[in-house]
Structure 1
Amino acid sequence: MLFNFEKSAAKTIRKALRPIEESISPFSYKIPCLPFSHIQRFNYVNVYMKWKKDSYYDSIEHIHHSIQLKPVIALKNCIAQDPNGCIPISSVSKRGLQLDVPMKVARFLRQYPSIFEEFTGPKYNHPWFRLTPEAAEIDRDEKRVYEESREELRSRLKKMILMTKENVLPLKIIQGMQWYLGLPHDFLQHHEQNLDDSFRFVEMEDGLKGLAIESRERVYSVMEENAMKKGMYYDGSQTEAIEFPFFPSKALRMKTKIENWLHEFQKLPYISPYDDFSNLDPNSDIAEKRLIGVLHELLSLFIDHSAERRKLLCLKKYFGFPQKVHRAFERHPHMFYMSMRNKTCTVILKEAYCNELAIENHPLLSVRKRYIKLMKESEVILRNRRMNSRFSNSEKLDLESNDLDEGEHKIEGFSLEQVI
């Protein structure tokens, strides 16, 4: 009797608690107007998916040649800026660290004969360098693209600053990200023509100078713009949760509980990277979805929609990223691919290479591809030079051996007395 009483009492308690359990279920809620007013927790927190190599993303040329291309363009700019269009090696030989040149500058320049032409200078027989006609033509086209796309480049910089906590970034951070944003190297030096009235220079903590944005204009992310095209999002109000586009790699296999977690994660409200996030609990699942949205938007702004992971980690302080932001790439391999080429970790936004219509191409991308094509032509030129050098050396050896044979025949024709 006592057992039956305890059993019936337990049933009664469970029935009484059922409405409460349903009300606190992690994912059973309607999307509110202010999604960050709800604090939600993950069903499955320790999400870990083993990294899988994907040859498709590892073979994207303009991403993985970017490390070599950056110093090439830096040296090209040094030559193009000179009034004579040529420079002695002494003017750049000690600036290798500043220009990100991984070896002696002269040796690096000679590795790309299709871009840099070497000749003997007018004084002291020092080596001088100038651009080849092909490289000079691309340089002119590059300047034209900069001129025609000034407004778009300014907009990309503005969006990046608006994603920060206080709408301000140190100038040194901006200079470090110029390569990814596609800004010319002297963009900030000519701020009168490159920046509009919404930008202002400010003094930051630690004596740093920064660039701030004063704008109340509504800015939409790539995710929001694509959702508007599908009729899912209108003027800041959602008709349903915006789901991130997933592009799983072929070799990637997930456990059922991780798939369920991702399915529920997609149902969470989308927080725009440009909205205030000060009220978000950093340990909530909505905060993680906001983090993924910021990383997605940031990579969408870059030329090749990729960046070295260590560069992105430098933005933690100003973008409000959590301490272990690098785990976001590991937890979401359907969105980001981490390439280990070039002895570094490069984060690639998959959507940019799986859906060509989702993200607009950067105007400077085609120019960089042309530079990379010239770099590959340099490899052919150097290979042919080595082949010609081997051929000429072998001919020289053949001639020397023939001379020796003729000399031996002549000596054999002499008598001993004649030789003496």
Structure 2
Amino acid sequence: MFGGRNLWESVLPLFSSKKFCKFQKASYVDVSMRWKKDPFFDSIDILSKPRELRPLCSLKNIIIKEPDKCIPISALSKRGRELEISGRVASFLRRYPAVFEEFRGPKHNLPWFRLTPELIDVDQEEREIYLRRGPEIVSRLQRLILMSKTKMLPLRIIQGMLWHLGLPEDFLKNPEGTSDGLLRMVEMEDGNQGLLAEIHSNEQTLSALQKTAMKMGKNGPIAFSLFPSRGLRLKKKIESWLDDFQRLPYVSPYEDFSNLDPNSDVSEKRVAGVLHELLSLFVDNSAERRRLLCLRKHLGLPQKFHKVFDRHPHVFYLLLKSKTCFVVLKEAYYGCSTSEIETHPLLEVRKKYAKLMIESDAILRSRRSNKPLVKIEHENDC
């Protein structure tokens, strides 16, 4: 009953017909809830240092390309803004002794840095995974592009999403040659270059929510899996609104939404579904909230789409780290047995990078206290 073709044949006529308009009510309820800290997410290594992990990997990529796999600090000291490092680059490198090893260079007695053996092993594992499963990773970019209104995205937007999707920093130098026919370079209306997602006319792209509903054999409108944080209670009025919201028709991020009233509850459910699907494509199913703003126009999101995160705390968690706000998809961490969110091929590698960062903290504490290093195991994944 829930085969892909049968599901779409039964649902799509509803969306394309005039009858769908009667579901588009605008009974907005002012959902106002206080943010509730969830210690579970603070205990996950890969989410503990979200802003530092990206520049750390960029520095790793720079150093490993050097002939001797080492580099003087003078070659990096002026690249802090480019690498999004606040403060001195040398201080950042010294903050992670389990990743970067400092030594005196062959000339002028200047500080040089090389990668630790442990880091080199993880880097090699990352490269091997990409060689084996590259098309699978590229398909995530294809799905992101298919979520856009025109089925294409500018290269500058895609460049900002490469880290989240697990693609190499130099991917856009030859996207067609490494995408196995999934992507094609095009010139957009504004004169900029972009990527167009190719898809066969008889193929249907299902979202993670649709796949989960099919797996669970649920009838009726597709609903979000809810994961309340401990101590987070909703008022009765909001609970009633949420029940009604869950029963609304679900519009897939890959479907045409031009017939939707932007002020309707159905439109809000679509926006929540787009953000759910977007985060499900990312390596660690999270992202800095401000970095999603560049996708707003292309994915058909309202100007204040970030309010969806506040209105749906059972679906999204706002993680406050490093003086900024990250949004985390709860289902990826709580719904392991029932969710159809696919684990990213590079997730385990990113966890290993994060673990080396945590070990660096322990090494620095050991040095300051002159006490032997004690390794502590982290991770609270399902």
Q: TM-score range by the shorter chain?
A: 0.7 to 0.9
Pick which of 82-91 and 133-142 moved more: 82-91
3-state SS of the aligned residue for 1:339?
A: strand
Partner of 2:332: 352
Mark the CA change 1:382 to 1:98 in structure 2 (over 3 Å): closer, same or farther.
same
Structure 2 counterpart of 1:22: none
Which of the residues 10, 13, 21 maps onto 1:38? 21
Match of 1:385 in 2: 367
Structure 1 stretches lacking a partner, 5+ long: 1-29, 233-238, 390-420
Mapped to 2, the partners of 1:142 and 1:275 lie a distance apart of 34
In the TM superposition, what are the counterparts of 1:364-375 in structure 2 within 5 Å?
Answer: 364-375=346-357
Q: Does 1:325 align with 2:308?
A: no
Q: Which has the larger radius of gyration?
A: 1
User: Match of 1:178?
Assistant: 162
Please show how residues 277-296 of structure 1 align to structure 2 within 5 Å: 277-296=257-276
TM superposition shift of 1:77: 0.5
Q: In the alignment, is the contact (CA less than 8 A) between 2:185 and 2:196 conserved in 1?
A: yes
RMSD after superposition: 2.0
- Residues 93 and 106 in structure 1, CA contact (< 8 A), matched pair in contact too: yes
After superposition, residues 223-234 of structure 1 pair within 5 angstroms as: 223-232=209-218
Aligned length: 354
Residue identity matched to 1:368: R
1:169–1:211: 8 Å Cα contact kept in structure 2? yes
Letter in 1 for 2:110: H
Q: Is the alpha carbon distance of 1:32 and 1:272 closer, same or farther for their aligned partners in structure 2, counting shifts above 3 Å?
A: closer
- TM-score, structure 1 length as denominator? 0.80
Deviation at 1:250, TM superposition (A): 2.3
Q: CA separation in 2, counterparts of 1:32 and 1:141? A: 43
Q: What are the superposed Cα offsets for residues 173-226 of structure 1, whole Å, 9 maximum, x if unpaired?
A: 111111111111112223244223231222234443211113233111111111
Deviations 1:258-303 (A, max 9, x none): 2111111111111111111112111111111111111111111111
Question: Which is helix-richer, 1 or 2?
Answer: 1
Higher relative contact order at CA 8 Å, sep ≥6: structure 1 or structure 2?
A: 2
Give the SS at the match of 2:102.
strand
In structure 2, distance between residues paired with 1:383 and 1:255: 45
Cα deviation, 1:110-150, whole Å, max 9, x if unaligned, reads 22122112222222222221111111111111111111120
Unaligned runs of at least 5 residues, structure 2: 1-9, 372-382
Displacement of 1:31 in angstroms is 7.8
Which of 377-386 and 180-189 deviates more? 377-386
Instruction: Provide runs of 4+ in structure 1 moved above 3 Å.
Output: none
Cα distance in 2 for residues equivalent to 1:163 and 1:241: 21
Task: Give the secondary structure class of the aligned counterpart of 2:171.
Answer: coil
Of all paired residues, the percent bearing the same amino acid is 55
1:70-125: CA deviation from partner (whole Å, max 9, x where unpaired): 11111110011112211122222211111122221122112212211222222222
State how far apart, in whole Å, the 2-side matches of 1:134 and 1:32 are.
51
Q: TM-score, structure 2 length as denominator?
A: 0.87
- Provide the C-alpha distance between the structure 1 equivalents of 2:206 and 2:61, rounded to a whole number of angstroms: 34
Matches of 1:381 and 1:54, distance apart in 2: 27
Change (3 A) 1:219 1:294: same
* Equivalent position of 1:14 in the other structure: none
Q: What are the residue-to-residue correspondences of 1:2-41 with 2, within 5 Å? A: 33-35=13-15, 37-39=20-22, 40-41=24-25
- Cα distance in 2, alignment partners of residues 321 and 43 from structure 1: 19
* SS of structure 2 residue aligned to 1:136: helix
